[in-house]
Structure 1
Amino acid sequence: MIVLFNKPYNVLTKFTDDQGRATLADFIDIPRVYAAGRLDMDSEGLLLLTDNGQLNHALTDPENKAYKTYIVQVEGVPTKAQIKTLETGVELKDGMTLPAKVKRIPYPKWLWEREKPIRVRQNKPTSFLQIKIKEGRNRQVRRMTAAVGVPTLRLIRTHIGDYHIADLKPGQYRVVK
């Protein structure tokens, strides 16, 4: 079984927390499912969960090379050179990233309002990118956009391979057999 979950902003990608923060248990009432991968607390969107250890490994194994697709709101308007750098690979502290698929997109009409609005500077426009990566390093997309000079303000994962959030609202899930 696979559970597709649209993880809201400010929710931990685990079922328990000794500090009283929001967790997956506040939204998912299916016993013995575990997250296949993770999303940071300040990131939103698609999270896969499963009750099958082999399937969990298959979903998270970097060798599967399934693209993860993110909608990224960034501060500023990236230049063609900045986008090209993201596409060819970015040098991060933990090494060079693999090439990414990147394109500028208009404001996504389907995008929901976030409970806590992003920080906006009056003299700096924001824009949206669609970024597809095969890796899953810690805070990778955020570090990539910052490295090229357009820091991430909001990050929403929409796809993992063929799985997508479709019409799931934040906090909703769907079971896929």
Structure 2
Amino acid sequence: MQPRIPRQQSGEQAVGPRPDNDARLSDELAAVVSGARRRAVRDGDRQIDTAHLLHSLLEYDPEVRDVFDDGAEIARLLGYLVQRSIGYGLRWQGSVEDSGAVPVVTETEGLSPLAAGAMEYACECAAARGPEPARGVDLLAAIVMDPQARAVEVLDRAGIEASAVLTRIESVLARSGRPGR
């Protein structure tokens, strides 16, 4: 019987800690990264991209779900994200998500360059606030900032503007009494 998880070639194995074991991440955000990794492996993708992260954020983080207006928006987003494994995202397979708009980030294990940059940005935002670890809304803000992100394409297809998501994040943070990005 063949294993379900594809084996990496020795040159593909990354050195260093897994991003979901990063002490700079909240427990919830570490669970998001783990969920995105499982989804990427199941879909046969080489790397976790921003669409995998968006999917896991919607599944695991209630604060991120609060960013979206209603259940209909979340349902549309999840519909597009689920379709990626059955055709919509097949054109992304075998390609690396990198817009070229940000400086190249040293590859973090299993993350596309754009997703690795978003993770780093989320951690930097959290560090600027103080000792609190990065949370899901930090990562959501980071992944929707680059118009070339696959997550932004999913938002566009669902009829949701990335700029509106950033505005909503600030509103959710203000309502919760937590400091913003």
Question: Normalization by structure 2: what TM-score?
Answer: 0.26
Q: Identify which of structures 1 and 2 has the higher relative contact order when contacts are C-alpha pairs closer than 8 Å and 6+ apart.
A: 1
Which of the two has greater strand per residue?
1
Question: Normalization by structure 1: what TM-score?
Answer: 0.26
Which of the two has greater helix per residue?
2
